Amino acid sequence: METTGKVELAKIIAQKTGVTQKQAAEFINAFVDTVEEKLTAGNKVQLVGFGTFSTRKREEREGRKPGTGEKIIIPASIVPVFRAGKNLREKLNV
């Protein structure tokens, strides 16, 4: 499996849309910034057919340090979550 970074993604988007690679990179950055803003405000971002970006609260819990086995308290946190939409799931499972 290969990983596609922002630069490669911008190049692909530029080729598919006819915009410059710089414009495609600006679009990607604006999209990421907007999703971050919406999630930090407590909102969801839903792209029908692709998926939904949201957040989930993790409660405080007990854990262990891997090296020593010592018990530690892992603080509560809010984590980002992506749930794939139906169309994306179907394409992945062809």
In the block, residue with structure tokens 């499972």: 93
Distance CA 39, CA 75 (A): 20
- Supply the pTM of this predicted model: 0.81
Q: 64-89: per-residue pLDDT in tens?
A: 999 999 999 999 999 999 999 999 99
Query: Phi and psi (nearest 5°) for 80?
Result: -75, 150
Question: And the tokens for 69?
Answer: 């086995």
Distance CA 16, CA 24 (A): 10
Secondary structure class of 55 (helix, strand, coil): strand
In the prediction, which pLDDT does 94 show? 84
Over residues 1-5, mean pLDDT: 90
Q: 4-34: per-residue pLDDT in tens?
A: 999 999 999 999 999 999 999 999 999 999 9
At residue 50, does pLDDT exceed 90?
Answer: yes
Question: 51: closest CA among 78, 87, 3, 79?
Answer: 87
Distance CA 8, CA 50 (A): 20
Over residues 57-63, mean pLDDT: 96
In the prediction, which pLDDT does 6 show? 95
